[in-house]
Structure formats: structure tokens, C-alpha cells
């Protein structure tokens, strides 16, 4: 099963030249992830037009080679993954320093200390440039020092130990979304996950795709550049000659700090008390999302909305791989049972009095199950438990989704469904499920249900699958922020239109309007954070916080037009 490293690397170099930043329609074989080891090379070559699929296939190759104890070949395969991650960051959101460390561990298994040290030093160099957690850096330097000592390089080992001791500690800072003078802001993300711990301490590798016996809790710190554009997910670009992450340019996961349940909810209450906020939002990610990417996406949403309350991630054990669709379906609904208990705890003991929920793609399977169980357990429901509940591009059978909505409806002030007829990910899912429409599909098959407002966002979607518009489009983020602010019905939100027939079907279409103005989002965020809901309060808040007379003249009428009184 093993093959020569030189031959393999030569083949890989040729293959890399063929990779293109495209998305292929995946076969059932690829979606299942159940691929014979001997077929992987052929599939890599066949999918050379799709870097994300090739990356995930190479990951399967690494697993197979490691099982066969072909550790050197496995390490070289990881380095090819690293090359792909650098070249196609928009398609492959993988922690490149972590890949170098993975390669180092495999080289050590192969007895190749020199190559292991080279890879660990590459990781240290990259991490130094990204303002990484000092404990991670010092740990790596001490590991390299031990390796240098093991081969008799004691002077070099002493130098590395001294360098580890002299790494400055992380500075103290308040919780929440906060400023930093180094060109970025720090966002704290509270997480609950039933992913199993891997035993690794590096943030990007702390949680894998294994299923834990219960929930793990903690706080993740994400840095976001001050130059960040709402709706963007900044990663290094080889076309800009960016080969490592920089917190002043890229969204980055800096640390993951596990805590027990009591400390977790205690920290939430303290955070709300310190900030003066009373609200929280929970994000439940979709298929093909690893823990680190989910944490970064949650932080991005918080930053884009300038959300001052608690930013909370519920992460279920997705494989985080394009070829892991079917394995993801096997765990997401079990995770939904755990999500319902977490939401009960969040309501009861977090201290947040206003809680919003946002689920994306397959994460809606967990959320719909969790909410249905919660509603049945609480029936009859006297008043809403949640404020806004957002079903974004749900990869849920449309018939099942519609049947669940009347039960779920009393739990929230408003239920909103974002759909699109351009969503290629959901179209592929529909084919996989016997051509049954998915709840997140728009156009002629858009869901009609009295319990939920369906917003057809087909005019949005710049990502390759037109599937992540809820976090990748400023217009969608603005609509979310408006919902959080005023709980406006669709007919009262700018940008949403509907014919008489559409509104009877409870379906509205998003069209670019005055709400497409990119300057509007910070205005809405400020009004929401300061509790300005009446016309008089909006006027006073705008004049107190914004000095640009031209912007006020342009945007104040739009915002006043949204206010109910």
C-alpha cells in the first residue's frame, strides 16, 4: 500500500498545477466518505478541478497511510494539503500552522527528527506572525528543544528553552467584542459542543469530529482585523503574496479555553453584568464545518452586527470535510437532543433575557429537533422563550420542516426562513434525497407556511454554492440586525417585496434597495445597542453618535421609516 516518497511528491507537484478553484457536483460515493483506500489516488486525479474535494481526499489518504505505518508518506501528504490550503484559502479554511505540526508528528513516528524539527519551526514562524497564544508558542519551542537535545544539539536546545521563557504573556483584556491597538479586535465566543476532545492543545485541533458522551463548554477567542468588511471572511491570499495568517488582515482563532458547566454560565452572567447587555445569539453551523471555522464564523457575525451581548456557538461533530455529508447526517440529530438541553440551560441560568437563534444548512436539523422537543416539553407555552429564530438555508426535508413549524411557533416572537433558488448545495441535497425539496430552496418551491416568514434571498449569494449568504452578504446581515432591533414583519422591512399572491403565501423576495447601502449597518447596530426604537429616540441617538451630516441626511429617513411610532 505504501509507495516511494519521491514518486509521490513528484506526482503531487504535477497534480497541484491542475487544481482549480471550482466546485464539482459530488457523487454519492464522495458524499458518503466511504472510499476504499486504493481508490483515493484515482479520485484525487479525477477531482483535480476541485481543490476542496482533493484536500479532503488527501486527508483520507493520510489516515490510511498512518494506519499502515507509512508515516513519512503520510507526512508528505499533509504537506501537500498545506500547499492547497495556502493556494485556495477561500475554498479550504484550514489552519496551516497546525498542518505543519501534524506533519511533524508523523515524521517523528517515522523516526525522521530532522524533518520534524523543520516542520515545527515552520509552524513557529507562522504563529509568531499571527500573534498566537504565547502558551502554544512556548510549548512548541520546548518541544523543539527536547528534539534538539535528543540528537546532541544541547546548545541549540538551551537557546530554544530561553526563547520559550522570554515569550511575553498575553495581555489582560475585558470580555466580549473589544478593541486592540494592534490592528485587530478580539471577540469572545462562548461554545458548547458535543465534539470529543482530541487531546491536542492547539486551538485548531482541540476538537475533532468524534462524538463526545456529553457537552464540552468553554470560551474561544477570535481576532478580526480592524479593516474587516462586513460579510467577508478574510483569509491569506497567495495572489496577494500572503503565505501566513496576520491578525491585522485575517480572521483567526487564537485560543480555546475549556471550562466546566458552572464556570461557563457564571462567566456568561458576569460578562452581561460587565457590559450592561442583556441579549445573546446562538449560532448552529452546518455540514462540512470544523470547530475552528464555526468559532470564526460566529465571531464574524457578532462583529458585523456589532453585537454587544453574548456570542454563543453550538458546534455539533461535523467531519468538516466536503466528502463527509452522509457521516454528518448520522450525528446531527443526536446532537439536536443535546442542543435542546443546552438551550434550556441558556434560558434558565445564563442571565440573558433576550435570546436569538441562527442555524445554517444541516445545523437546522439539530435546531428544529431541539425546538420541537422543547415546545412539547413546555406546552402549553404562555409567552415566547426566544426572540428571533432564523432558519438559514435549511437542509431539512421541506415537508418535515413545515409539519414542525406549528409546534415550534409559540417558542419565538418570530420565525424567519431564508431560502434561495440558486443554492447549489441544497439542489445537490435534493437529488440525494429522492428529489424531495429542501426547506431552504426558494423560487417556485419556496415554503408556504403561516408559522414562518419565508424570505427568498435568490438575488444574493456570491460564494460558489450560493449557500452561505446569511453570513457572506451585508444585505442578509443587515436584515438580521433589523430583526434583532425591531422585530419588523417582512412587509415593514426595506428590501423585501411581495405580490399579493406572494404575501398570501407568506413569501417575500429580497431586492436591492436603499437597504443595500453599506453604511446603513453600523447605524442599525448603534440604534439596536442603545435601545432606540421610537422615532424620537432614533433621531436623538443618530445625532449623538454620528457627525457626518451628509450620511445623516441620506440614511435618517430610511431608519425613521422603519420605526413603528
Nearest of 334, 394, 330, 386 to residue 355 by alpha carbon: 386
Q: How far apart are CA 241 and CA 36, in angstroms?
A: 37
What pLDDT is recorded for position 424? 83
Q: How far is CA 131 from CA 45, 192, 235, in A?
A: 37, 25, 15
Cell 520534524 -> residue: 116
What pLDDT is recorded for position 29? 59
Q: How far is CA 26 from CA 2, 50, 295, 448, in A?
A: 27, 10, 26, 30
pLDDT in tens, 195-223: 999 998 888 889 999 999 999 999 999 99
List the grid coordinates of 328.
454528518
Q: How far apart are CA 215 and CA 207, in angstroms?
A: 12
* Contacts of residue 458, Cβ cutoff 8 Å, sequence gap at least 6: 419, 420, 421, 422, 442, 443, 509, 510
Q: How far apart are CA 91 and CA 85, in angstroms?
A: 8
Nearest of 370, 372, 367, 343 to residue 355 by alpha carbon: 343
What pLDDT is recorded for position 314? 98
Question: CB of 299 within 8 A of CB of 187?
Answer: yes
What pLDDT is recorded for position 76? 95
* Contacts of residue 117, Cβ cutoff 8 Å, sequence gap at least 6: 104, 144, 147, 148
Reading the chain (565 residues) residue by residue, the pLDDT tens digits are 343 444 344 344 434 445 544 444 556 556 656 677 888 888 888 877 788 888 888 988 998 899 899 999 999 999 999 988 888 876 787 778 889 999 999 999 999 999 999 999 988 887 776 555 677 788 889 999 999 999 999 999 999 999 888 877 654 333 445 555 568 899 999 999 999 999 988 888 899 999 999 999 999 999 999 887 777 766 655 444 444 567 778 888 989 999 999 999 999 999 999 999 999 999 999 998 999 999 999 999 999 999 999 999 999 999 888 888 888 998 999 999 999 999 999 999 999 999 999 999 999 999 999 999 999 999 999 999 999 999 999 999 999 999 999 999 999 999 999 999 988 889 888 988 999 999 999 988 999 999 999 999 888 765 544 556 666 678 888 889 999 999 999 988 888 887 655 656 679 998 876 666 668 888 999 999 999 999 999 999 999 999 888 888 888 998 998 888 7
CB neighbours (10 Å) of residue 422? 18
186 backbone dihedrals φ, ψ, rounded to 5°: -105, 135
* DSSP 3-state of 454: strand
**Phi-psi domain of 361 (left: phi exceeds 0; alpha: psi -120 through 50; beta: other):** left
* DSSP 8-state secondary structure symbol assigned to residue 534: S
CB neighbours (10 Å) of residue 117? 20
* DSSP 3-state of 527: helix
Helix H, strand E, coil C: the string for 459-511 is CCCCCCCCCCHHHHCHHHHHHHHHHHHHCCCHHHCCCEECCHHHHHCCEEEEC
List the grid coordinates of 166.
522570554
Q: How far apart are CA 273 and CA 96, in angstroms?
A: 37
What pLDDT is recorded for position 127? 76
What pLDDT is recorded for position 50? 81
CA dihedral 243, 171, 233, 63 (to 10 degrees): 60
Cite the DSSP H helix spans in 204-324. 261-275, 291-304
* Contacts of residue 316, Cβ cutoff 8 Å, sequence gap at least 6: 193, 194, 195, 284, 285, 331, 332, 335, 336, 339, 363, 366
* Contacts of residue 470, Cβ cutoff 8 Å, sequence gap at least 6: 358, 360, 390, 392, 393, 418, 457, 476, 477, 480
Question: CB of 523 within 8 A of CB of 546?
Answer: yes
**Phi-psi domain of 318 (left: phi exceeds 0; alpha: psi -120 through 50; beta: other):** beta
99 backbone dihedrals φ, ψ, rounded to 5°: -65, -40
Partners of 392 in the β-ladder: 360, 418
* DSSP 8-state secondary structure symbol assigned to residue 25: P
Query: Which secondary structure element, helix H or strand E, spans residue 557, and what is its range?
Result: helix 549-562
Amino acid at each position: 500500500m505504501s509507495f516511494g516518497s519521491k514518486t509521490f511528491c513528484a506526482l503531487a507537484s504535477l497534480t497541484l498545477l491542475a487544481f482549480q478553484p471550482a466546485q464539482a457536483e459530488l457523487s454519492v460515493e464522495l458524499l458518503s466518505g466511504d472510499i476504499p483506500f486504493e481508490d483515493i489516488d484515482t479520485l484525487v486525479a479525477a477531482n483535480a478541478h476541485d481543490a476542496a474535494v482533493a484536500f479532503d481526499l488527501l486527508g483520507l489518504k493520510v489516515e490510511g497511510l498512518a494506519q499502515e505505518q507509512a508515516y513519512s508518506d503520510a507526512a508528505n501528504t499533509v504537506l501537500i494539503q498545506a500547499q492547497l490550503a495556502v493556494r485556495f484559502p477561500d475554498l479550504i479554511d484550514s489552519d496551516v500552522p497546525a498542518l505543519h505540526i501534524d506533519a511533524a508528528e508523523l515524521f517523528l513516528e517515522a523516526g525522521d527528527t530532522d524533518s520534524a524539527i523543520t516542520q515545527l519551526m515552520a509552524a513557529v514562524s507562522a504563529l509568531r506572525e499571527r500573534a498566537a497564544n504565547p502558551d502554544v508558542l512556548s510549548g512548541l519551542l520546548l518541544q523543539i528543544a527536547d528534539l534538539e537535545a535528543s540528537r546532541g544539539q544541547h546548545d541549540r536546545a538551551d537557546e530554544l528553552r530561553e526563547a520559550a521563557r522570554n515569550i511575553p504573556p498575553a495581555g489582560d483584556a475585558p470580555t466580549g467584542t473589544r478593541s486592540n491597538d494592534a490592528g485587530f479586535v478580539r471577540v469572545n465566543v462562548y461554545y458548547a459542543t458535543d465534539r470529543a476532545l482530541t487531546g491536542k492543545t492547539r486551538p485548531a485541533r482541540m476538537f475533532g469530529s468524534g462524538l463526545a458522551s456529553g457537552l464540552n463548554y468553554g470560551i474561544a477567542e477570535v481576532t478580526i482585523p480592524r479593516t474587516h468588511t462586513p460579510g467577508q471572511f478574510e483569509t491569506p491570499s497567495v495572489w496577494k503574496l500572503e503565505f501566513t495568517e496576520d491578525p491585522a488582515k485575517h480572521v483567526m482563532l487564537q485560543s480555546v479555553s475549556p471550562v466546566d458547566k458552572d464556570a461557563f454560565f457564571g462567566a456568561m452572567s458576569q460578562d452581561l453584568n460587565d457590559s450592561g447587555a442583556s441579549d445573546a445569539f446562538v449560532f448552529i453551523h452546518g455540514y462540512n464545518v470544523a470547530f475552528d471555522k464555526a468559532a470564526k464564523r460566529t465571531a464574524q457575525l457578532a462583529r458585523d452586527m456589532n453585537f454587544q451581548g453574548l456570542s454563543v456557538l453550538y458546534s455539533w461533530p461535523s467531519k468538516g470535510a466536503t466528502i463527509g455529508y452522509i457521516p454528518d447526517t448520522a450525528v446531527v440529530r443526536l446532537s439536536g437532543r443535546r442542543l435542546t438541553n443546552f438551550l434550556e440551560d441558556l434560558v434558565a441560568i445564563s442571565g440573558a433575557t433576550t435570546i436569538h437563534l441562527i442555524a445554517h444548512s444541516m445545523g437546522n436539523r439539530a435546531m428544529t429537533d431541539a425546538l420541537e422537543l422543547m415546545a412539547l416539553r413546555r406546552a402549553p407555552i404562555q409567552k415566547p422563550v426566544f426572540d428571533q429564530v432564523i432558519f438559514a438555508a435549511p437542509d431539512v426535508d421541506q415537508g418535515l420542516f413545515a409539519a414542525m413549524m406549528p409546534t415550534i411557533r409559540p417558542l419565538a416572537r418570530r420565525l424567519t426562513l431564508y431560502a434561495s433558488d440558486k443554492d447549489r448545495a441544497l439542489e445537490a441535497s435534493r437529488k440525494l434525497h429522492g428529489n424531495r425539496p429542501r426547506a431552504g430552496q426558494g423560487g417556485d418551491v419556496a415554503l408556504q407556511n403561516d408559522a414562518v416568514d419565508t424570505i427568498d434571498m435568490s438575488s444574493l449569494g456570491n460564494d460558489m454554492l450560493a449557500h452561505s449568504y446569511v453570513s457572506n452578504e451585508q444585505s442578509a446581515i443587515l436584515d438580521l440586525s433589523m430583526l434583532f432591533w425591531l422585530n419588523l414583519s417582512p412587509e415593514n422591512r426595506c428590501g423585501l417585496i411581495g405580490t399579493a399572491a406572494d404575501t398570501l403565501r407568506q413569501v417575500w423576495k429580497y431586492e436591492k434597495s436603499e437597504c443595500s447601502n453599506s453604511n446603513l449597518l453600523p447605524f442599525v447596530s448603534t440604534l439596536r445597542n442603545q435601545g432606540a426604537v421610537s422615532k424620537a429616540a432614533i433621531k436623538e441617538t443618530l445625532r449623538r453618535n454620528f457627525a457626518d451630516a451628509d450620511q445623516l441626511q441620506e440614511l435618517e429617513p430610511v431608519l425613521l421609516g422603519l420605526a413603528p411610532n
